[in-house]
């Protein structure tokens, strides 16, 4: 319990200190220190769950089981590495005159707040608080997307706020319906009626008609946050116009948390409905996302928009796998969430420095990265190869599992998936190749970039492609049993 409290209290304290403290000069370091403390607490919590199994904490309000424990560890880890990356990155942005030192205070404070909301969303056992945390995650990042105050960033921020606000309002209606069904099944239990563990216990008695309706609203609501087609239109703008560390955590973490919320709801609804409706809906949204994103990839000229669309594609793939259900597909979906998060944030780290060197995010302005700084260039190249699903990286393993399961269970999807993956490969690889190799005209950066996070992430992804540690595999399997259904 102490680990959980520390894990949530550290970012809360960090947000306060960084907002009101007087250490402006060392704020980037302080941000990293708080993220490191959060990561330590999350690791301690993880060790506790490995040793003692699922934990129900603080009056049952928090629940950590195999499904969310690895997401907690992943979130805290990427939060730490992003803070390390952001340290030189934001200093360079100041040196380039894109933001002022004063605005950095807002940035750091909101960054910590964002970590808090995501960790709270992952660990809470209360479906209502899950909603509150996810909405708070949007609110804490809106002003980060508009950090540069350019017309484009304001538009992106507005779109992000309104679309996610409306989307998440649908999820609130879904949560109300869930509560309504729960009250009927659990009796007048009031506060406990929204606790996931209680709902899970009585899911077969929940009214199917209400839950089916609730799931539609929940899926649309949280699906907007997860960037599922056709609710994705905020995603690319928010990723492209905000500072790169924020693109990395939006893509690597927020989308995961939203998908996590959908899957938690799916477990309840499937237990009540005993029909394939939730699965079919997930598969439908998933495959639509994969297909449309891979087509839209071809039209992108901005490097961050390119990888934002790739995130939509990968979230779609994971959603499709959750929809297929069954132990193997769910295992693959969880692995895919993990490796996508690590790879995509690594790519955004490299992309951020590349764009700083070129002074532009337009891909045609970025040329010959390898000549000027081999680490950024190779980081981007290796990250791209990993995200495109080349062996021996982890994305290959998860995509391979998803495709082989689909071949057995949903053969109709195979042509669409293969075509989409092929299209995405051609679109991304061609562009990245011309950015990485060739002549260069780019400038040097005033601060040395931190590329350790890029290679740390890629090493982990490589490791996960070659060998999944037994306890991690154990969690994935336990979580797959929990959510696999059928």
Partner 1 sequence: MTDPLLPSAAIHVAIDRQLLDACAALQLLIAFAMLAQRRIVSLVNLLAAQGAVLAAATLLLAWRTGQGHLYVSGVLTLALKVAFLPWLLHRLIDRLEVRFDAEPALNVSGNLLAGLLVVVFAFGLAQPITHLASTAMRNAIGIALGVVLLAFLMMITRRKAISQVIGFLSMENGLFFGAMSATYGMPMVVELGVALDVLVAMLVLGVFFFQIREQFDSLDLHHLESLGERR
Tell me whether residue 280 or residue 301 sits nearer to partner 1 (CB atom).
301
Q: Using the rule CB under 8 A, which residue among 26, 149, 280, 408 binds partner 1? A: 149
Contacts to partner 1 from residues 58-87, by CB under 8 A? none
Tell me whether residue 100 or residue 414 sits nearer to partner 1 (CB atom).
100
DSSP letters for 225-256: HHT-TTS-HHHHHHHHHS-HHHHHHIIIIIHH
Three-class SS string for 414-459? HHHHHHHHHHHHHHHHHHHHHHHCCCCCCCCCCCCCCCHHHHHHHH
Main-chain phi, psi angles of 63, to 5 degrees: -140, 125
Alpha helices in 243-302 (DSSP H): 244-249, 255-273, 277-296
Q: Using the rule CB under 8 A, which residue among 96, 274, 280, 301 binds partner 1? A: 301
| Least CB distance to partner 1 at residue 163 (A) | 10
Tell me whether residue 247 or residue 341 sits nearer to partner 1 (CB atom).
247
Contacts to partner 1 from residues 271-300, by CB under 8 A? 296, 299-300
Please give the Cα distance from 121 to 467 (Å, whole number). Answer: 29
Q: What is the helix (H) or strand (E) element at residue 136, kind and residue range?
A: helix 127-145
Q: Is the dihedral angle over the CA atoms 220, 224, 225, 228 positive or is it negative?
A: positive
User: Please, is 23 exposed, middle or buried when counting C-beta atoms within 10 Å of its C-beta (0-12, 13-18, 19+)?
Assistant: exposed
**Which residue from 397, 473, 399 is spatially nearest to 70, judged by alpha carbons?**
473
Q: Using the rule CB under 8 A, which residue among 48, 103, 184, 481 binds partner 1? A: 184
- Please say whether the beta carbons of 370 and 438 come within 8 A: no
Residue 139 engages partner 1 in binding (rule: CB under 8 A): yes
Residue 443 engages partner 1 in binding (rule: CB under 8 A): no
Residue 216: strand, helix, or coil = helix
Q: Which residues touch 155 (CB under 8 Å, ≥6 apart)?
A: 237, 241
- Please say whether the beta carbons of 81 and 440 come within 8 A: no
Contacts to partner 1 from residues 212-231, by CB under 8 A? 213
Site string for partner 1, 41-60 (x = CB under 8 A): --------------------
Residue 428 engages partner 1 in binding (rule: CB under 8 A): no
Please give the Cα distance from 367 to 451 (Å, whole number). Answer: 19
Residue 239 engages partner 1 in binding (rule: CB under 8 A): no
Residue 3 engages partner 1 in binding (rule: CB under 8 A): no
Site string for partner 1, 355-384 (x = CB under 8 A): -------x----------------------
| Least CB distance to partner 1 at residue 221 (A) | 11
Interacting span for partner 1 (CB under 8 A) from 43-51, 152-160, 243-251, 351-359: 152-160
Contacts to partner 1 from residues 303-332, by CB under 8 A? 305
Q: Using the rule CB under 8 A, which residue among 36, 158, 429, 437 binds partner 1? A: 158
Please give the Cα distance from 482 to 476 (Å, whole number). Answer: 10
Residue 152 engages partner 1 in binding (rule: CB under 8 A): yes
| Least CB distance to partner 1 at residue 277 (A) | 15
Please give the Cα distance from 214 to 120 (Å, whole number). Answer: 23
Binding site for partner 1 (CB under 8 A): 126, 128-129, 131-132, 135-136, 139, 142-143, 146, 149-152, 154-159, 161-162, 165-166, 169, 172-173, 175-177, 179-180, 183-184, 190-191, 193-194, 207, 209-210, 213, 237, 241, 296, 299-302, 305, 362
């Amino acid at each position: 319990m102490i680990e959980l409290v520390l894990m949530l209290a550290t970012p809360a304290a960090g947000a306060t200190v960084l907002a009101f403290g007087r250490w402006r000069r060392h704020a980037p370091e302080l941000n990293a220190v708080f993220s490191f403390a959060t990561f330590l607490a999350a690791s301690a919590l993880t060790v506790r769950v490995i040793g003692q199994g699922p934990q129900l904490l603080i009056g049952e309000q928090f629940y950590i089981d195999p499904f969310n424990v690895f997401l907690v560890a992943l979130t805290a880890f990427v939060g730490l590495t992003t803070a390390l990356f952001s340290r030189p990155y934001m200093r360079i942005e100041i040196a380039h005159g894109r933001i002022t030192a004063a605005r950095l205070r807002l940035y750091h404070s909101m960054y910590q707040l964002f970590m808090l909301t995501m960790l709270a969303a992952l660990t809470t056992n209360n479906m209502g608080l899950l909603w509150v945390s996810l909405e708070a995650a949007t609110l804490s990042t809106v002003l980060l997307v508009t950090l540069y105050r350019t017309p484009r960033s304001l538009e992106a921020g507005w779109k992000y706020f309104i679309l996610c606000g409306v989307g998440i309002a649908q999820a609130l209606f879904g949560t109300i319906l869930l509560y309504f069904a729960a009250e009927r099944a659990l009796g007048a239990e009031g506060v406990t009626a929204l606790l996931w563990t209680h709902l899970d216990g009585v899911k077969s008695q929940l009214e199917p008609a209400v839950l089916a309706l609730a799931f539609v609203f929940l899926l649309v609501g949280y699906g907007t946050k997860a960037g599922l087609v056709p609710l994705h239109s905020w995603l690319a703008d928010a990723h492209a116009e905000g500072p790169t560390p924020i693109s990395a955590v939006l893509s690597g973490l927020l989308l995961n948390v939203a998908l996590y919320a959908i899957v938690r709801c799916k477990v309840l609804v499937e237990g009540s409905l005993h029909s394939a409706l939730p699965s079919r809906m997930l598969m439908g949204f998933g495959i639509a996302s994969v297909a449309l994103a891979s087509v839209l990839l071809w039209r992108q000229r901005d490097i961050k928009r390119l990888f934002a669309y790739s995130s939509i594609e990968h979230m779609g793939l994971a959603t499709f796998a959750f929809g297929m259900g069954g132990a193997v597909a769910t295992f693959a979906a969880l692995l895919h969430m993990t490796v996508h998060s690590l790879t995509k944030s690594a790519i955004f780290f490299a992309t951020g420095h590349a764009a700083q060197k070129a002074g532009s995010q337009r891909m045609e302005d970025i040329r010959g990265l390898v000549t000027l700084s081999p680490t950024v260039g190779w980081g981007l190249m290796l990250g791209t190869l990993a995200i495109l699903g080349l062996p021996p990286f982890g994305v290959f393993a998860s995509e391979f599992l998803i495709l082989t399961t689909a071949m057995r269970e949903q053969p109709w999807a195979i042509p669409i998936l293969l075509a989409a993956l092929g299209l995405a490969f051609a679109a991304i690889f061609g562009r990245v190749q011309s950015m990485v190799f060739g002549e260069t005209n780019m400038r040097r950066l005033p601060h040395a970039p931190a590329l350790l996070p890029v290679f740390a992430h890629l090493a982990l992804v490589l490791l996960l492609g070659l060998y999944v540690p037994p306890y991690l595999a154990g969690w994935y399997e336990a979580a797959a049993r929990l959510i696999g259904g059928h």
